[in-house]
Amino acid sequence: MTSEEKVQLIVRTADDRQARDMVLLDLRGLTLMTDYFFICSGTSSTQIRTIVDKIMEAMKRAGMGGIRVEGYDAAQWVLMDYGDVVVHVMSPEQRDYYDLEAFWKEASHMPLETMLAQPASAGGE
């Protein structure tokens, strides 16, 4: 899967689980560690875990299993590392405190509306 296909599947899956305040940052040219950060919020630890579980299921079905996940038990900030795409599912409090969007202010914000309006790619949900 390309990083763009990964991002589309992740965004669609998070949207299906009513993730809030979704942001996709394009980090290409700013860091060597990843191409994209996808950041979203959940309203409770239960919703955060549900978003994470569904993203992991969708990515595994698409052949992208075996990722690194951190923070799942506490479910206040869960990080999912897919290499070229890193997913942050955060509580509103953690998101406000760490303010990743401000830290990566040079990154372009990718339009999610266009991505959500496109037909799902093969292997997508």
Q: Are 57 and 124 in contact (CB under 8 A)?
A: no
A 10 A CB-CB count for 25 gives: 24
Lookup: tokens for 94: 């953690």
**pLDDT tens track of the chain, all 125 residues?**
899 999 999 999 999 999 999 999 999 999 989 999 999 999 999 999 999 999 999 999 999 987 899 999 999 999 999 999 999 999 999 999 999 999 999 999 998 987 787 766 544 44
Domains plus CATH for the chain?
3-109 (3.30.460.10)
Read off the pTM.
0.90
Q: Are 121 and 8 in contact (CB under 8 A)?
A: yes
| Residue 97 host element (H or E) | helix 92-98
